[in-house]
Amino acid sequence: MTLTDLDSPQRRTGTTGTTGTDTGTDTHCPYCALQCAMRLEPADDGRLAVQPRDFPTNQGGLCQKGWTAAELLAVRDRITTPMVRDAGGELRAATWQEAYERIVTAVRAAQRADGPDAVAVFGGGGLTNEKAYSLGKFARVALGTALIDYNGRFCMSSAAAAGNRAFGLDRGLPFPLADLGGADAVLLVGSNPAETMPPMTRHLAGARQRGGLIVIDPRHSATAALTDDGAGLHLRPLPGTDVVLLLGLLHAVIAASGTDDDYLAARVEGWGAVAAAATCWWPELTQQATGVPADQIRRAAELLLAAAPHRGGAGAYVITGRGAEQHAHGTDTVTAAINLALALGLPGRVGSGYGCLTGQGNGQGGREHGQKCDQLPGYRSITDAQARAHVAKVWGVDPDAIPGPGRPAVELLDSLGRPGGPRVLFVHGANPAVSAPDAGTVRERLASLDLLVVADFVPSATARLADVVLPVPQWAEEDGTMTSLEGRILQRARATDPPDGVRDELVIWAQLAERLGAPVQFATDPIEVFAELGRASAGGRADYAGADHERVAREPVYWPCPDREHSGTPRMFLDRFATPSGRALAVVPSVVGVDDDLREGARTYLLTGRVLRQYQSGAQTARVAALGRPGEHRFAEVHPLTAHRIGVEDGTPVRITSARGSFVAPTRVTTAVRPDCVFVPFHGDGDNQFCNDLTNPATDPVSGMPEFKVCAVDVSPAEHGAGT
C-alpha cells in the first residue's frame, strides 16, 4: 500500500444548516487522535466542503475518513428530537420536558432505593475537553455517584498505567509527532497507523528510507507492508507473546553491550532486576516461544542500536499501540517496551523516545479531566486528599461530598442491573453495545436496566436499546477543545448550527443538574467551562491552567502549561521524569500466557482490528456511502493452509465461534494472517452481528484493559448465506 492509497485527493461535502462564517472555519477532523487540521468551507448549495490544512501532524494530508467527514452532517437518520420508549416497547418522539421528567423520576427512584451508586455514567474519548470535564463533574456532583468510567478504558489504559508507573506521568506522545521524521529507527509494537491514522505514516518516511522501520504484528498489515523491499523488518510473533519478544530484543541489546550505561546510571531506577530478567530470553529461546526467527531478533536489535544516540545514531523511537495493549496483561507488554527504550537511553532525549499512539480523537484529554473512575481533573488521583480539596474548592462543594473511586469499564458494565449494581445508566459519546468485550453479555446488561439514557446524533446500536435518547450536536456544530495524541490542545470550532431540536451536552447536564437539585450550577458556555477546567487542573500532572480558548485558537498549546507566561511543553522529561526521585522506574514485566488459549475445539486465535475506511464501532463511518457499502467491512481473513484444512475458498462464509458467541463472515484467503489466526474487523454498528460478541472480557489487573486482541475460536464453514 502506498501513501497515495491512504490519502484520497477528493474534495468532500456535506449538507448543513447555516455556516458559521462566509470564508470558512479552521478546525480538526472528528475521528482519531491525530486530529488532522482541516478547513470547512461553505459551498453555494449550503453544504460544507472539507479542505486539508497544513499542520505539523498531517502535513496537509487527510485520510478517506477525514475527506468525507462533512458527510456525517447529512446522514438521513440523524436524531433531531428526544425519544422515549413507550409502554409497547417502541421509541417515539418526545419533548425535552418529557425526556427530562422520565430521567429525573428514574434517577430519584433508583437512588432512594439503593443509594447514589444506583446510577452510573459511561463516557467517551470523543467528547471535547469541556464535555469530558463536565461529565465527570455531573456524575460526582449532580448524581453523587462514584460509578463513572469511559470507553478510553478500552483504548490505551494499559499504556497509561505503564507510563504512569515508569515516568510518573501519562501523555501518549511526550514529544511532537514530527520528531519521528529525523529518527534512524522506529519500532512499532502492535500498531497499524497506515489504516488507523494514515497521514501519520508520512513521519515514518525517514526511518523507512534508512531501512529502520520495525513492525511487531502477527498480521502483515498495511503498516507491516511498509517494511517491505528493504525498508525495515516485520516481526510476526505468536499472538500474546509480545512481552517475550520484547524481552528477547532487550537480551540481544544487552548481549551486544549496547545499553546506554551512563543514562541508566543517571536517570533510571530498578535497572538491575530488569536486566537480570532479560538474561533468560536469549534469541533462540525467544524464537521457540514467539515463532520469530532468532536472526530477525538480533537484526532488529542491531537496527535499534545503530540508531541510538549513545551509539552515534540520529535517534530511535519505541511506539506501542492497541495490539500490544489490549491484553489481560497489556501493562506488562508496554512495560517491556518502555524497558527496551530505557536500555537504549531514549526517553527524555530530543530526537528519541517512547510513546503510545492514542486512538480516539480526544482519548488523551478525555481521560485527564475526570471520566476515569479513579481520577479527578488534571489527572489527579481521586483518593488523594489534597487533590480532592483542590477540585472541591473549584466546584464549590465539600471534599467529603466527592465520591471515592468507582469501577473500571468492564466491571462497571458487567454490574449493570445485577443485585447491588446500577439500575440507571447514562451513556455519552460511546457505543458499548458494539465496542465492549463479550458485547452480547453487555447488551443483556443494558437491557436489564430500569433506565438507559443515551446521548447521540445517530441511532447507534446502544441508542437503539435506550429508554431515553437525547439528540446532541456533531463535531462541526460545537465549540470546544480537543487534545491530540501528542498532548497538543487544539480548537474545535463551530462551523454550522445544529438542527432544530438538538441540545448541547453542556446544556443538558446543566438542566438535569438543576432538576436533580445539584448544590452548584453548571456552566454551559464552553469558554467558561474551559476556564473552570484550567482552575481544576492547576498544579496537577495534566495542567491546563495557562491555556484558554483565545490562546488555543491562535496557536495550539502543549500541556503541561501552568500559566499564561508558560510556552507549553512539547517535549517532556528532558531534565527529569515526573516521579518523586526524578528518575524513571524500570519494572520487571510478568510473562503470562493468553487468558483464553488454544484448546480442543478452539484451535485458532481470533485477532480483531480496524480497516482503513471505518472508525471504531462504525456508528459514524458506516453511514457515509463514500466509505463503502453496508457490510463491506465484515470479513474474515484466513491463511490458505487454514482454508484448505476446513475446506473453504475465498468468499465462502465461515462461522467463527468462541466460548462467548459466534460470528459469520465471508472468507478472505490471504497470507497476511498466520495459519493459526483469523482476523476480523470489529466495526459492526450497521450489522446484526458484532465481532466483539466473541472477545474475552478478562482484564488487566493494573489497567482494567480487556483482552480484545486474542482469544481461542473455532473456524468452520457456515451455511451459504448464513449471517451474510
Contact (CB, 8 A) for 677 and 630: no
Res 20: pLDDT: 43
CA nearest neighbour of 440 among 236, 707, 695, 265: 695
Across the beta sheet with 47-52, the strand order is: 13-15, 47-52, 37-42, 25-28
Residue range(s) occupied by CATH 3.40.228.10 in the chain:
157-356
Task: Give the whole-angstrom CA distance, residue 441 versus residue 438.
Answer: 6
Res 45: pLDDT: 72
Q: How far is CA 672 from CA 223, 518, 614, 658, 675, in A?
A: 12, 55, 19, 22, 9
Report residue 207: phi and psi, to 5°: -65, -40
What's the pLDDT tens digit per position in 640-649? 999 999 999 9
What is the DSSP-derived secondary structure letter of residue 497? P
- Cell 458484532, located at residue: 690
Q: Tell me which of 40-49, 63-72, 213-222, 653-662 is least confident.
A: 40-49
Tell the burial category of 155 from Cβ atoms under 10 Å away from its Cβ (0-12, 13-18, 19+): buried
What's the pLDDT tens digit per position in 134-184? 999 999 999 999 999 999 999 889 999 999 999 999 999 999 999 999 999
Contact (CB, 8 A) for 714 and 602: yes
Q: How far is CA 68 from CA 50, 88, 358, 475, 692, in A?
A: 8, 38, 22, 13, 26
Question: What CATH number was assigned to the domain covering residues 157-356?
Answer: 3.40.228.10
pLDDT at residue 18 tops 60: no
Res 12: pLDDT: 41
Question: What CATH number was assigned to the domain covering residues 604-717?
Answer: 2.40.40.20
Q: Which residues pair with 716 in a beta bridge?
A: 655
Report pTM: 0.94
Q: Which residues pair with 387 in a beta bridge?
A: none
pLDDT at residue 263 tops 70: yes
- Conformational region of residue 424, where left means phi above 0, alpha means psi within -120 to 50, and beta covers everything else: beta
Q: State the angle between helix axes of 330-343 and 271-278 in degrees (0 to 180), rounded to the nearest 10.
A: 100
Per-residue pLDDT averaged across 72-86, rounded?
95
Task: Give the whole-angstrom CA distance, residue 577 versus residue 269.
Answer: 11
Q: How far is CA 31 from CA 95, 481, 621, 640, in A?
A: 31, 14, 10, 34
User: Element (H or E) spanning 114, and its range?
Assistant: helix 96-114
Task: Give the whole-angstrom CA distance, residue 567 versus residue 569.
Answer: 7
Res 293: pLDDT: 98
If you write DSSP's letter for every residue of 44-67 in order, what string do you get?
TTSEEEEEE---TTTTT---HHHH
Residue 5's pLDDT band, with cuts at 50, 70 and 90, is very low
Kindly report the three-state secondary structure assignment for every residue of 213-226. EEEECCCCCHHHHC
pLDDT at residue 222 tops 80: yes
Report residue 146: phi and psi, to 5°: -85, -10
Taking the alpha carbons at both ends of the chain, their separation in whole angstroms is 28
Q: Please report which residue ranges of 538-580 form alpha helices under DSSP H.
A: 549-554
Domain at 83-154+362-472+504-541, CATH from 3.40.710.10, 3.40.50.2300, 3.40.50.740, 3.50.50.60: 3.40.50.740
Residue range(s) occupied by CATH 2.40.40.20 in the chain:
604-717
Q: Tell me which of 15-29, 66-80, 228-242, 555-569 is least confident.
A: 15-29
Contact (CB, 8 A) for 311 and 262: no
Range 530-535 contact pairs with CB under 8 angstroms and sequence separation of 24 or more = 530/129, 530/130, 530/480, 530/481, 532/133, 532/394, 533/129, 533/130, 533/133, 533/369, 533/377, 535/394
- Conformational region of residue 370, where left means phi above 0, alpha means psi within -120 to 50, and beta covers everything else: left
Q: Tell me which of 57-71, 125-139, 564-578, 673-687 is least confident.
A: 673-687
Residue range(s) occupied by CATH 3.40.50.740 in the chain:
83-154+362-472+504-541
CA nearest neighbour of 277 among 1, 492, 521, 591: 591
Q: At 118, is the secondary structure helix, strand, or coil?
A: helix
- Conformational region of residue 543, where left means phi above 0, alpha means psi within -120 to 50, and beta covers everything else: beta
Strand locations in 288-396, DSSP E?
A: 316-320, 353-356, 375-376, 380-381
Residue 665's pLDDT band, with cuts at 50, 70 and 90, is very high
Res 22: pLDDT: 58
Task: Count CA within 13 A, CB hemisphere, residue 62.
Answer: 26
Contact (CB, 8 A) for 435 and 151: yes
Quick one: how far is CA 294 from the chain centroid? 33
Q: Tell me which of 15-19, 62-66, 140-144, 511-515 is least confident.
A: 15-19
What's the pLDDT tens digit per position in 98-109? 999 999 999 999
Task: Give the whole-angstrom CA distance, residue 492 versus residue 481.
Answer: 5
Kindly report the three-state secondary structure assignment for every residue of 229-298. CCCEEEECCCCCCHHHHHHHHHHHHHHCCCCCHHHHHHHEECHHHHHHHHCCCCHHHHHHHHCCCHHHHH
What's the pLDDT tens digit per position in 286-321? 999 999 999 999 999 999 999 999 999 999 999 999
pLDDT at residue 463 tops 50: yes
Task: Give the whole-angstrom CA distance, residue 335 versus residue 337.
Answer: 5
Task: Give the whole-angstrom CA distance, residue 491 versus residue 10.
Answer: 25
CA nearest neighbour of 170 among 385, 483, 609: 483
Please give the grid coordinates belonging to residue 83: 425519544
Per-residue pLDDT averaged across 535-558, rounded?
95
Contact (CB, 8 A) for 199 and 36: yes
